Amino acid sequence: MKQHICLTNVFQKSCKFVSQPLVLCALIATAQAGSSRNVCSSDVAVSSIYFIPHIKDYCRTSTPCEKFKRQVRLQGSGTLSGNRLLTYTGKTRSMGSCDTSFGASGNCLIPFISVAADPRFYSMGDIIQMPSMKGKVLTLPNGKTMVHPGFLIVHDTGGAIRGKNRFDFFTGSYSMRDPGNPFGSKGRKDLQMLDRTSCTDNKKFTVVRRGSYYYQNSLLAIEDSLRDVYSDRKVMVASNSRGAR
């Protein structure tokens, strides 16, 4: 599960220098979340991206430094040496066979496929169809390529992900400024997902609910797109019907 704190982006200085930062941060976060729901029409995604930081990119030793822990609090988790994961709560867990992180669904997150959504409107496993992505060839963090099926799957939630058309796109180990991140600031304009104020047609979407007529075919399309990327990867859906655990 993603955990967002207020000291981010344009609000960082505002929250940092006031006498009652927690109160102001709560007000700003509420206003930010409320405004983001109304930026785009209901069939256009208000989008952002999140990633999984690795300790070696932030710290000189294998002991988590403050810079790394700050990113973990922002992104929800981060990878440590020894195939371990540090969560925003400060707890560590084994990654097992997962090479990224775990979402609120309990499933291993898949770059460019997994999204975080508001559990008031979406169940874990619901599918978001975004036709503009279909057929786009993307290079994953592991170096392999995939042809995007035009479908994404709700695997996660987030404290700042509020609204029916608000989605946070998981990009694996690619940060928002990484040149290899097609959804980031260096990506193609028709694939960028980091700007919540952008309401372009490429962000138009429809929802395929679990149990609906087209759900199984949509799920198979996702699995087919990953067949050559992850030999043993199945796009699992959560057994629980609603969002965060």
Return the pLDDT at 151: 98
State phi, psi for 47 to the nearest 5 degrees: -115, 155
Q: What is the DSSP letter of 65?
A: P
Q: Helix, strand, coil proportions of the chain in percent (round to 5)?
A: 25, 20, 55
SS3 228: coil
Query: The pTM is what?
Result: 0.82
pLDDT tens-digit series, residues 146-185: 999 999 999 999 988 999 999 999 999 999 999 999 999 9
The predicted-structure confidence for 5-21, as pLDDT tens digits, reads as follows 443 343 333 333 334 44
Classify the C-alpha dihedral 221-201-138-102 as positive or negative: negative
Q: Which of 81-85, 210-214, 216-220, 232-236 has the lowest mean pLDDT?
A: 232-236
